[in-house]
Amino acid sequence: MSKERLINMLLVAGVLIGISIAIFSSIKETNFDSDREWVARVGDAEISRAKYLLQLEGLNADKRVPLKEDDKAFVLERMIEEELLIQRAKDLGMFSTNTMIRGTIVQQMINMIISENSLDVISTSDLKDFYEKNKGFFTNADRLRLKQIYFSNEKEGSLERSQQVYSELLEGKDIDNLKIQGNKTALEIPDTLMSLAKVREYIGPSLMQIAKELKPLQFTSPKKVIGGYKIIYLVDRRDALPPDFNEIKDRVKSEYKKRRDDQALRDYLDKLKNWYEVERHSKI
């Protein structure tokens, strides 16, 4: 193995090790405080005393004897070297070009954003309320037979075309005759009754929530989706009694936490779009 390749591997390893600490110690601190206590500076970055003491505490917990000055100096040098590796990786453009590092940073950010939810106590009353509002989702026997018409942005005037077809549906025209006006790039929905979980796989959670409220032969207005617009048409449905809450409480709790985490991430991303300047090219 060449010396240059070895150095690059060590650099990447150091960056990955330092990312978790760097994310939690710096990303949460949106406003930089120049008066905070620090133990070292590396370029424009400061290593805070709180972060340093936390590292010492962790090392001290693993040792049976009190830390010596050499131990404390060792910890500080490792933190400085870690910061040097991170800054060098940034200078080399690895944060924007290395997919492994970018993926790690993104995942750590997501973990950080939703981690605060884990501290919240979920009451039984909250779960029951959530269950009552989403009984259809938890009723496995509920089955829907759907059709959809997809209008891709790849073809000009997707919104206008979807609105035209919607108007024709309102006039009573047959959906099978109108489907040819849409695009065939969407995932084809099987022409059979499907569980809500299966429906969700084909049209996504948002459209599934809308579809399960439809009655046979009803349809939605054009709904914006990734890459275009969709009209969902309910052909038929089969409903059954919902399960008892106490029998599926764990499942309800799991889904409640998943949707809460999804919403927390979405809210945070919306805030970021306000905090940072984002410019989208007019031609994409």
How many angstroms separate the Cα of 139 from the Cα of each of 28, 214, 226, 237, 238? 40, 16, 28, 13, 11
pLDDT of residue 13: 56
What is the Cα–Cα distance from 76 to 113, expressed in whole angstroms? 28
Answer CATH for 140-238 from 3.10.50.40, 3.40.50.300, 3.90.1150.10, 3.30.830.10: 3.10.50.40
Distance of CA 29 to the CA centre of its chain: 21
pLDDT of residue 245: 94
pLDDT of residue 39: 87
pTM (two decimals): 0.50
pLDDT of residue 156: 86
Tokens, residue 196: 């809500």
DSSP 9-60: HHHHHHHHHHHHHHIIIIIS--S--TTS-EEEEETTEEEEHHHHHHHHHHHH
pLDDT of residue 93: 87
pLDDT of residue 7: 47
pLDDT of residue 26: 46
pLDDT of residue 280: 75
- The structural domains of the chain, with segments of one domain joined by +, span 3-119, 140-238
Residuewise pLDDT in 10s, the chain (284 residues) = 554 554 455 555 555 555 555 544 444 443 444 446 888 888 888 888 888 888 888 888 777 778 888 888 888 888 898 889 888 888 888 888 888 888 888 899 999 988 878 878 899 999 999 999 988 788 765 789 999 999 999 888 899 999 999 999 999 999 999 988 998 877 889 999 998 889 999 999 999 999 988 999 999 999 999 899 999 999 999 887 888 999 999 999 999 999 999 999 999 999 998 898 888 777 76
* Burial classification of residue 136, based on how many CB atoms lie within 10 Å of its CB (0-12 exposed, 13-18 middle, 19 or more buried): middle
pLDDT of residue 9: 55
